[in-house]
Amino acid sequence: MAERFFSNNKAQLLSEKTVVVMLKTVLASYEKLKEKTNDAQSLSNLIFASINAHINPMFNITIDSATRTLSNAVVSVFSIPLEHAASLVFPSWFTFMKNKNASKLATFGRGVFDLPSDLNDNEVAMMTIQRLKKFFSDLSLPVKWSQIGADASDIDRILFKVGFPEINSIGTFEKLSKLDCEVLLSFAI
């Protein structure tokens, strides 16, 4: 869902606002469920946010599939659940995107995590990445390759599963070359 915040489409403003509201709902519901695991409203909100993320027509215009492609390759190489792979890939993708568009990542962080508006975009972008990593860590999800028994030498295996060198790039929002993916994946070392 977070990746869709960065997608270019005709309903960009509405798309961004919808992603922020859905992710804030997920975060708030998570906090409530930590206190009361059978909170029906929180569970309902999580289910609704999940369904909305997958069937909302404004998100189907242009979706950057780079993170999903990389996550699927990680699953294939290490036989881990998709959410474990995504928790490794997303912070790395955010770090990669920070170098390309810190302003967009900062807008995301200010919207989703209520980060300060008086700091510069680079600072807020870094805080966004740290908050995302902390959230995944709080869920006992890996954010470093070592947490799944992997290291830098495994990146080539992941890239092969993605389809490199047969394909030139992945992604629709931000085209990622093999080198881009290698750099991106190295952020989780």
> What SS3 class is residue 122?
helix
Both tokens assigned to 139: 């869920």
Q: Residue 41 CB: number of other CB atoms within 10 A?
A: 10
79 plus 164 within the same structural domain: yes
The boundaries of the domain holding residue 114 are: 64-189
Asked which of 43, 61, 79 is the last residue of a domain, the reply is 61
104 plus 127 within the same structural domain: yes
9 plus 26 within the same structural domain: yes
Q: Would you give the DSSP letter of residue 37? A: T
Q: Which of 185, 182, 187, 176 is nearest to 65 (CA)?
A: 176
H-helix segments, the chain:
12-35, 40-55, 66-78, 82-113, 121-138, 155-162, 178-186
24 plus 75 within the same structural domain: no
For the chain, how many structural domains are there in total? 2
Q: Give yes or no for residue 57 having a pLDDT over 80.
A: no
pLDDT tens-digit series, residues 59-75: 555 555 799 899 999 99
Residue 48 Cα distances to 56, 113, 127, 176, angstroms: 11, 20, 28, 31
pLDDT tens-digit series, residues 98-108: 988 899 999 99
**CATH number of domain containing 143:** 1.20.1090.10
102 plus 187 within the same structural domain: yes
pLDDT-derived band at 9, boundaries 50, 70, 90: low
State the pTM of this model.
0.84
Q: Residue 53 CB: number of other CB atoms within 10 A?
A: 17
Question: Once rounded to an integer, what is the mean pLDDT over residues 142-160?
Answer: 97
* pLDDT value of position 157: 97
